[in-house]
């Protein structure tokens, strides 16, 4: 009985993808790939996701280390704050970002570098959500690594920084890979915040989820499905990389 319940869910997931595939054909996918707009969206998605991934890891590694290795006042509060982007509806993140850049400091930044409705805003919107997953992953990763090896390193002549880079970081390699892949995959699927904060302008702030949205609104379901399939396969490929090379214990 339990097996039937469990397998129903898996069958549903696979059925969705099979339905997508049956709705489109290789011809549709190639046609979609030939479109200049979609080529731009693929390029922008790849670039922004990669930038978001790098930024997320750069933030998640020190933050995860700090949270797992040090005790300080209001740690539980900060822990909860770090989860806000995970629990918040994506649209609300987009709206909040938009409002943030209407405040005085936000407007000051905008007066120097235009953020809202530009490519930069795409990265910021992706980063706000993706980074939370990377931080959570690194927090778990570092917490699971016993600090004994670092302590021995300290007695052998290391300072904290040397112990971190020489001893802890190499142990966290799989966790970092997992965090990076998750951030990338999250960024690829991000739509709500981008729609509000960056708009959906073709050849400017159009990423792949935006393409699906735009194609659907003009009734071009075949193209929307074709782009969806491109996303499903690239997301699946990234998740497979994590499963094959990553640390199973830290996958969230």
Partner 1 sequence: MIRGINLSIHQGDFKLSNLNFTIEAKEYVVLMGKTGCGKTTLLETICGLRKLSSGEIWINDKNVSNEVPAKREIGYVPQDAALFNTMTVKKNIGFALKIRKCNKQKIEERTNELAELMGIDHLLERRIDGLSGGEKQRVALARALSFYPQILCLDEPLSALDEDTKGDMIELLVKLKQNLDITVVHVTHSNFEASKLANKVLYFEAGTITHQKKFR
CB-nearer residue toward partner 1: 84 or 156: 156
**Minimum distance, C-beta of residue 58 to partner 1, in the bound complex (Å):** 21
Among 50, 68, 144, 162, binds partner 1 (CB under 8 A): 162
DSSP state of 62: H
214 vs 217: CA distance, rounded Å: 5
Is 126 in contact with 194 (CB distance < 8 Å)? yes
98 vs 101: CA distance, rounded Å: 5
Options 39-47, 166-174, 175-183, 200-208: segment touching partner 1 (CB under 8 A): 166-174
DSSP state of 251: -
- Tell me if 170 contacts partner 1 by CB under 8 A: yes
Q: 8-47 mask for partner 1 (x: CB under 8 A)?
A: ----------------------------------------
- Tell me if 91 contacts partner 1 by CB under 8 A: no
Name residues whose C-beta falls within 8 Å of residue 129's C-beta, 6 or more positions apart in sequence.
85, 86, 90, 93, 186, 187, 190, 193
Residues 140 to 159 in contact with partner 1, rule: CB under 8 A = 146, 148-149, 151-159
> What are 132's two structure tokens?
């939370």
Is 173 in contact with 227 (CB distance < 8 Å)? no
User: How many helices (H) and strands (E) would you count in the chain?
Assistant: 14, 0
Name residues whose C-beta falls within 8 Å of residue 69's C-beta, 6 or more positions apart in sequence.
142, 147
- Tell me if 230 contacts partner 1 by CB under 8 A: no
Shortest CA distance to 232 belongs to which of 9, 12, 8, 14? 14
Residue with token string 């989860």: 83
CB-nearer residue toward partner 1: 158 or 232: 158
133 vs 139: CA distance, rounded Å: 10
Count of residues of this chain found to bind partner 1 when the rule CB under 8 A is applied: 18
CB-nearer residue toward partner 1: 61 or 187: 61
> What are 144's two structure tokens?
């699971």
CB-nearer residue toward partner 1: 105 or 157: 157
CB-nearer residue toward partner 1: 102 or 151: 151
- Tell me if 177 contacts partner 1 by CB under 8 A: no
**Minimum distance, C-beta of residue 247 to partner 1, in the bound complex (Å):** 13
- Tell me if 171 contacts partner 1 by CB under 8 A: yes
**Minimum distance, C-beta of residue 166 to partner 1, in the bound complex (Å):** 8
The residues binding partner 1 (CB under 8 A) are 146, 148-149, 151-159, 162, 166-167, 170-171, 173
């Amino acid at each position: 009985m339990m097996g039937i319940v469990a397998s129903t869910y898996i069958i549903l997931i696979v059925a969705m993808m099979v339905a997508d595939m049956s709705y489109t054909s290789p011809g549709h996918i190639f046609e979609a790939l030939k479109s200049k707009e979609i080529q731009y969206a693929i390029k922008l998605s790849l670039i922004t996701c990669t930038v978001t991934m790098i930024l997320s890891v750069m933030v998640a590694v020190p933050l995860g280390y700090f949270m797992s290795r040090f005790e300080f006042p209001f740690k539980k509060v900060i822990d909860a704050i770090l989860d806000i982007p995970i629990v918040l509806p994506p649209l609300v993140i987009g709206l909040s970002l938009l409002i943030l850049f209407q405040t005085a400091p936000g407007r000051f930044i905008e007066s120097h570098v235009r953020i809202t409705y530009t490519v930069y805003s795409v990265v910021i919107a992706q980063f706000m959500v993706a980074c939370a997953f990377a931080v959570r992953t690194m927090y778990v990763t570092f917490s699971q690594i016993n600090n004994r090896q670092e302590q021995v390193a300290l007695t052998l002549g290391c300072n904290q920084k040397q112990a971190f880079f020489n001893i802890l970081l190499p142990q966290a390699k799989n966790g970092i890979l997992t965090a990076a892949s998750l951030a990338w995959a999250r960024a690829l699927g991000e739509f709500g915040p981008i729609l509000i904060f960056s708009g959906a302008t073709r050849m400017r702030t159009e990423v792949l989820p935006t393409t699906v949205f735009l194609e659907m609104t003009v009734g071009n379901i075949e193209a929307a499905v074709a782009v969806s399939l491109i996303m499903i396969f690239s997301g699946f490929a990234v998740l497979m990389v994590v499963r094959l090379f990553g640390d199973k214990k830290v996958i969230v």
